[in-house]
Amino acid sequence: MTERTFTRRTMLRRSLATAGAGALVGAAGCSSIPNPLGGNTPYANWLPVPDDISDDDHYSFTYLNLDDIESNEDELDDESFDTSNFEGTWAPVDIDWEDVSGVTTIGIGGFLGLGGLIVEAEFDRDDAISDLEDEDFEEDSEHEGYTLMLGPEESQAYAVGDGALVSAPASEGDTGTVEAIVDAKTGNGDRYGDENDDMGELIDALGGGTIIDGRTMDEPDEAEPAEGTFDAMVASGQRAKINGESTDLKHVVVYESEDDVDTDDLEEWVTENDGDDGQFENLEDISYDSNGRKGIITGTGDTDEL
């Protein structure tokens, strides 16, 4: 299993990089699934089952709540946060980042293996189509109320909807991936969190927030608690929720069964990584808890340390 441990600052930079890794993806829609544990989880509606978009059994996702980021922009460290990164993400479509409410990315394969980008925003649909046409994208078809646009090399597709833009790779003109993402959103396709119990447990625990990422995985061959790899772990994720000068942090590990949860291992993970430049260097008010087959670490930190 690939190690996935990040400092909170790395989490922010990685999220921005993932979003910016492609003028590769777009967005659509604006409904969300109510989540009783942490607000709404709009990202969950965009996540199709892995079988619909790849040959892999698992993938990762990242979600950025740009409304939260805009509201708390003055609290963020300028060296770690550059809003100019955002608008390059959905180029060539011209949308001001302040008009975007959320960005969801789907990661397939290794680091920054971008399988889809979803941007939820206020924009003029005709203008977005015109921006793509200026870059030699051509209208391919309509799908569930979205206009499908195919790039000149037939390697990238956009789905342009009302209030949303979705983009994904399109091998040899195959728009199946972008269609599967749209189908998940519109309820015409299976969603990852509904069909996969491990992802469902993870989404329930993470809830809503400012920056969220997560993934499912095969159980590791060997546990290394100090490195964030645990026996019988099948999903993991983290959430940052900015509240002015303070940020609430949550790390979630989903295990194969309730009996596998070991909060002592979680504590070892934190204590082995709370020194200088460690993942948990600035985490305060730390607590460890178990909930069903989930192990949960919570704490707070200064927003300008993100």
Q: Are residues 285 and 241 in the same domain?
A: yes
**Residue 82 shares a structural domain with residue 162:** yes
17 and 62 together in one domain = yes
Residue 176 has pLDDT above 50, yes or no: yes
Task: Write the pLDDT tens digit of every residue in 225-261.
Answer: 999 999 999 999 999 999 999 999 999 999 999 999 9
| Phi, then psi, of 247 in degrees rounded to 5 | -125, 130
At 278 the pLDDT is 87
Q: Are residues 258 and 151 in the same domain?
A: no
Q: Domain of residue 182: give its range.
A: 8-192
pLDDT tens for 268-297 read 999 999 988 888 988 999 999 999 999 999
- What are 120-160's pLDDT values in tens digits? 999 999 999 999 999 999 999 999 999 999 999 999 999 99
Compute the average pLDDT of residues 102-110.
Answer: 86
Q: Give this prediction's pTM.
A: 0.87
**Do 186 and 247 belong to one domain?**
no
Is residue 135 located within the same domain as residue 244? no
| Whether residues 77 and 181 fall in one domain | yes
CB 157 within 8 A of CB 168: yes
Whether the predicted pLDDT of 12 surpasses 90: no
The owner of tokens 């980042």 is 97
The torsion angles phi and psi of 97, rounded to 5 degrees, stand at -65, -25
Flag whether 186 is in a domain. yes
> Which whole-number Å values give the CA distances from 15 to 61, 105, 166, in the listed order?
10, 9, 17
Looking at the fold, whether 139 and 283 belong to one and the same domain comes out as no
Q: Are residues 273 and 177 in the same domain?
A: no
Average pLDDT on 207-215 reads 96
Averaged confidence pLDDT in the chain: 87
Mark whether 31 and 108 lie in a shared domain: yes
63 with 170, same domain? yes
Is there a domain that residue 143 lies in? Answer: yes
**Phi, psi for 161 (deg, rounded to 5):** -120, -175
- State the pLDDT at residue 16: 47
* 223/209 Cα distance (integer angstroms): 29
Q: Which of 27-36, 90-99, 192-201, 278-287 has the lowest mean pLDDT?
A: 27-36
